[in-house]
Amino acid sequence: MLLLWKNICLEIIFQKEEKLKIIMFTERKTIKEVEEGNKLSPKFNSDGYIPVVTTDTKTGKLLMHAYMNDEALRCTIEKKEAYYYSRSRKCIWHKGATSGFIQKVDKILIDDDQDCVWLQVTVSGDASCHVGYRSCFYREIKYDGKNIKLVFTEKEKVFDPDDVYGDAPNPTIL
Amino acid sequence: MLLLWKNICLEIIFQKEEKLKIIMFTERKTIKEVEEGNKLSPKFNSDGYIPVVTTDTKTGKLLMHAYMNDEALRCTIEKKEAYYYSRSRKCIWHKGATSGFIQKVDKILIDDDQDCVWLQVTVSGDASCHVGYRSCFYREIKYDGKNIKLVFTEKEKVFDPDDVYGDAPNPTIL
């Protein structure tokens, strides 16, 4: 009896999720509709990801660039907090779940051909980078015609990654 | 004699380019160096591309998201104008070559794991989107808990794409 009840529940959840998928994402039929229509028809790449650009709502500053799969995009739209897909860990990743630096989503935009998402967020704790900086883009590329070097634009870290992440594997891949 | 001279010239150019490659991009050896060093070691994906986020220097607004291959990144660094790699046309693409909307590069930044580039640019003509808008991100995703729709954030186009691009194929892929 318990098993039957569990199966019924799972079926309802499944149907609800399927319905949600249909409502949220529309099939890409024509270029005109994709570029100038009012339906959300995101294009996930051959691996199932869409790139995401995340900026700070108040300062406008670029915080990070990451990826979502369809589930992460649906979660982000529904819950108004940023969910990404971690390509190194191969799972959905609720930003801030470990560090506490949750990204509250203020606005979500999509580009002309709907293959990139722009999140405007407010960050709890003021850091978005796993290395400890406010923004992942903390180094400027300087080139004088002969030599090239990276120059730091943030002077100090907001937090110590060892304290926050402990022994968790570093997501950076060589 | 002429052929010999041509070959010598080509060899000098080739050596110069090879040298330039070595100076510009350094091998990715350790995570520590990639994340906290001052050497440029960009990570191109398995197709040879790196994603690029382009914002307007003055307003800070996100203009577009595109890709570069190693040659496009080198050209951009050297020439201080934005060069991308067109995945649909499979070639280097000097932004504005057809439309006149050249992007003068004011700053180039790179992210923590060096797999994304941020360009801060000043655009001639004030448009960056092939559909005719200022930004490619001219639609916001609105969700009321039941229905989802895209709402335009730019009221009118800066230019008519038919006038500017004529019969050139649309880069959007379904």
What is the predicted ipTM?
0.85
Are residues B105 and B118 in contact, defined by beta-carbon separation less than 8 angstroms?
Answer: no
Are residues A139 and A151 in contact, defined by beta-carbon separation less than 8 angstroms?
Answer: yes
B116 Rama class: left (phi>0) / alpha (psi -120 to 50) / beta: beta
pLDDT for position B69: 97
pLDDT for position B128: 86
- Tens digit of pLDDT for each residue in B123-152? 988 888 898 999 999 999 999 999 999 999
pLDDT for position B140: 98
For the residues A111-126, what does the mean pLDDT come to? 94
pTM of the model: 0.86
Q: Residue B80 domain-assigned?
A: yes
**Interchain proximity B171–A130, CB inside 8 Å:** no
pLDDT for position B15: 62
- Tens digit of pLDDT for each residue in B7-63? 665 565 556 665 555 578 999 999 999 999 999 999 999 999 999 999 999 999 999
pLDDT for position A128: 86
Return the DSSP state at B95.
Answer: T
Q: Residue A6 domain-assigned?
A: no
For the residues A38-60, what does the mean pLDDT come to? 96
**Interchain proximity B62–A53, CB inside 8 Å:** yes
Are residues A127 and A99 in contact, defined by beta-carbon separation less than 8 angstroms?
Answer: yes
Of B113, B138, B172, the CB nearest to A31: B172
Q: Residue A35 domain-assigned?
A: no
Greatest mean pLDDT among A144-148, B79-83, B128-132 lies in B79-83
pLDDT for position B1: 60
- Tens digit of pLDDT for each residue in A123-133? 988 888 898 99
Query: What's the first-to-final CA gap in chain B, in angstroms?
Result: 53
Nearest chain A residue (CA) to B53: A53
Nearest chain A residue (CA) to B27: A174
Which amino acid is present at A135? S
CA distance B10 to chain A (A): 21
Of A62, A143, A150, the CB nearest to B39: A150
Of B10 and A82, the structure prediction assigns the larger pLDDT to A82
For the residues A166-171, what does the mean pLDDT come to? 81
Nearest chain B residue (CA) to A156: B36
Q: Residue A12 domain-assigned?
A: no
> What CA–CA distance (Å, rounded) separates A7 from B6?
76
pLDDT for position B158: 86
CA distance A26 to chain B (A): 10
> CA–CA distance from A77 to each of A21, A104, A162, B3, B142 (Å)?
12, 11, 31, 63, 8
Q: Residue B26 domain-assigned?
A: no
Q: Residue A124 domain-assigned?
A: yes
Query: Which residue(s) pair with B65 in the sheet?
Result: B53
Of A30 and B7, the structure prediction assigns the larger pLDDT to A30
For residues A151, A157, A160, A161, the Cα torsion angle rounded to the nearest 10 degrees is -50
For the residues A76-99, what does the mean pLDDT come to? 94
pLDDT for position A11: 64
pLDDT for position B161: 87
Here the CATH number for the domain that contains residue A118 is: 3.10.20.810
Total of domains in chain A? 1
- Tens digit of pLDDT for each residue in A147-168? 999 999 998 998 888 888 887 8
pLDDT for position B6: 63
Secondary structure (3-state) at A16 = helix
Q: Residue A32 domain-assigned?
A: no
Going by C-alpha positions, the residue among A155, A151, A158, A100 that lies closest to residue A134 is A158
Contacts 24+ apart (CB under 8 A), A100-108: A100/A124, A100/A125, A100/A164, A101/A125, A101/A126, A101/A127, A101/A128, A103/A54, A103/A128, A104/A80, A105/A76, A105/A80, A105/A81, A106/A57, A107/A57, A107/B140, A108/A76, A108/A77, A108/B140, A108/B141
pLDDT for position A48: 96
CA distance A3 to chain B (A): 31
For the residues A16-39, what does the mean pLDDT come to? 83
For the ranges A10-24, A77-91, B81-95, B149-163, the lowest mean pLDDT is seen at A10-24
Q: Residue A174 domain-assigned?
A: no
Host domain of residue B111: 42-165
Share above pLDDT 70 across residues of chain B, in percent, rounded to a whole number: 87
